[in-house]
Amino acid sequence: MVKLGKYAKILRLMYKDSLDVYYYPKVKKENGTTGYSDVPVYKVQNAQCKVSTSKDDTSETVNFDRNPVEKQMKVFCDVTLNVEKGDMIIARVLSDEGEVLATYQGLANKPDVFVTHQEIIIDVKDGLNASKIWGIKGFIKKS
């Protein structure tokens, strides 16, 4: 039987992009109810990864006044990173010189964990729903 764990180092050579992982912790409010903090807690910052497209964005050619971005990105990263379903991910595609070419932000799906790496699908969307949910305007930013 071949032990694949030793090949993880080879896969890491492809990790030229970077990612941050954070979440908003639950807090007890003054009135006794439970809600979410306005301050994010970062679990991972500037970790190396590989960002790839899982599902390309398509245009709504029938509706010219509203053409939302709906795209799925796949992030490949080290198996040791702590990423859970529901975490927020900021993934940056970097040039060979380290310049940010594109930034994608979205909600993480449950990671697929393998011996050599993990793969995380993030749903990237723009528009009112996304900005209301996460308090962020512009989910896809060209740098």
- Whether the CA torsion 120, 123, 129, 131 is positive or negative: it is positive
Instruction: Please give the residue that has the higher pLDDT: either 95 or 2.
Output: 95
Question: What is the model's pTM?
Answer: 0.73
pLDDT digits (tens, 9 = 90+) for 30-66: 888 998 888 889 999 999 999 987 655 555 556 556 6
At 133 the pLDDT is: 41
What beta strand segments (E) does 1-143 contain?
17-23, 26-28, 34-36, 41-55, 70-77, 88-94, 100-108, 112-113, 118-125, 140-142
pLDDT digits (tens, 9 = 90+) for 83-118: 999 999 999 999 999 999 988 888 999 999 999 999
Tell me the C-alpha distance between 39 and 8, whole Å.
34
For residue 29, name the pLDDT band (cuts at 50, 70, 90): confident
Beta bridge partners of 62: none
At 118 the pLDDT is: 95
Whether 143 contacts 101, CB under 8 Å: yes
